[in-house]
Structure 1
Amino acid sequence: MAAVPAPVTIATTIDRQGKRWGFTGSSFTSLSANPPMVMICLSKTASTHAAFTGCAQFMVNVLADNHGHIARRFAAPRIDRFSAGDMGDCEAGLPGLPDAVVRLVCALHQVLDGGDHSILVGRVEQAVTTGGEPLVYCGRTFTQLALESARV
């Protein structure tokens, strides 16, 4: 699967005690148009697993091509991923990246078994787009899309 390009996202949530949680994910995709739903996968052994599988809402931040350092930080274990201050309070009071290409506020619709991962199905309640080029993960590295206009 390393050869398959994927968008780079950071999912965020807040637990009942008000603690912020987040993880970098590239297993993210649209699931349904009506109702609008997305899915993102999270390892069952991740420190963030209980927070996300027990939350009411989460946000998916689709990262811009200059956000590789943020993606690496949110993938690192045993650190305060929010310490850099680049995540602010965004829609629905969830932590988000103000200059993410897309921010999706999702209600947790369902948690499905996906082997060693849980599949978080989110019903999209709000979508914000800011423009910019998305960060892509392919070949075990971050890369950028080479967008070219197609002639029809």
Structure 2
Amino acid sequence: MSDLKPVKSGDVALDTSRLRRLYGRYPTGVAALCALRDGKPVGIVATSFTPVSMEPALVSICVQHTSTTWPHLSEEDHIGISVLSSEQVTQSRQLAARNVDRFADVSWFSSDSKAVFLADAVAWLDCTITNSIPAGDHDLVLLQVNLMSMDEALAPLVFHDSGFGTLVGLDR
């Protein structure tokens, strides 16, 4: 802790690359948020997916203000959240890419509510946006879980230190 330094918003001395590395030290799950828009799937990847509440059932994500996809996705009534499995690194990278067909060769399905889900995910949640709160260079988005399903046989994909992996050696 000898190099502990104060962090102030707007401080010229703030090293954003170092802060990004620090944030990256916290392992997170990877989720795809998708919906049908004009009959075609649209989606993004979030490594900030977090359960919030059991009653009511709420989850959250954080979305950068610079996202060009989120403004379109957030207009849909229902959003499908697919918690990605350890076998879905390629799909995660593809859905996060810019200027490509994000759904080319990606196996997906949609619900009656027009939420889109990726096949072979660990879990699927049909959600509606309940609130969006500006939070620095992101928006914190709260979503109500309407329907859910999961495949307990699959391991989740984990993002940590700018790379993908799985959880091993858990003490249960």
Q: Deviations over 1:71-118 (max 9, x none)?
A: 000110011111214122246332211211000000111111122112
Moved over 4 A (4+): none
- Taking the aligned partners of 2:79 and 2:66, their CA distance within structure 1 comes to 19
Structure number with the higher strand fraction is 1
* Structure 1 unaligned regions, length at least 5: none
Alignment match of 2:84 (pick from 39, 43, 63): 63
Please name the residue that 1:28 is paired with: 49
TM-score with structure 1 setting the length? 0.90
Q: Is the 8 A contact 1:9 1:28 kept in 2?
A: yes
Please name the residue that 2:167 is paired with: 145
Q: CA deviation at 1:37?
A: 0.5
Aligned length: 149
Greater RCO, 1 or 2 (C-alpha within 8 Å, sep 6+): 1
Please name the residue that 2:110 is paired with: 89
- Taking the aligned partners of 1:60 and 1:33, their CA distance within structure 2 comes to 17
Please name the residue that 1:103 is paired with: 124
Please name the residue that 2:27 is paired with: 5
Q: State the percentage of identical aligned residues.
A: 26
- Taking the aligned partners of 1:91 and 1:2, their CA distance within structure 2 comes to 36
- Taking the aligned partners of 2:70 and 2:107, their CA distance within structure 1 comes to 22
Please name the residue that 2:73 is paired with: 52
Please name the residue that 1:133 is paired with: 155
Q: Do the aligned partners of residues 93 and 54 (structure 1) sit closer, same or farther apart at CA in structure 2, a change above 3 Å counting?
A: closer
Alignment match of 2:96 (pick from 72, 75, 93): 75
RMSD between aligned alpha carbons? Answer: 1.5
The alignment partner of 2:121 has SS state of: coil
The question of 1:121 aligning with 2:121 is answered no
Q: Is the 8 A contact 2:129 2:141 kept in 1?
A: yes
* Structure 2 unaligned regions, length at least 5: 1-22
Q: CA deviation at 1:20?
A: 2.0
Q: Do the aligned partners of residues 91 and 30 (structure 1) sit closer, same or farther apart at CA in structure 2, a change above 3 Å counting?
A: farther
- Taking the aligned partners of 2:86 and 2:75, their CA distance within structure 1 comes to 31
- Taking the aligned partners of 2:75 and 2:109, their CA distance within structure 1 comes to 22
Letter paired with 2:114: G
Letter paired with 1:13: A
Letter paired with 1:127: M
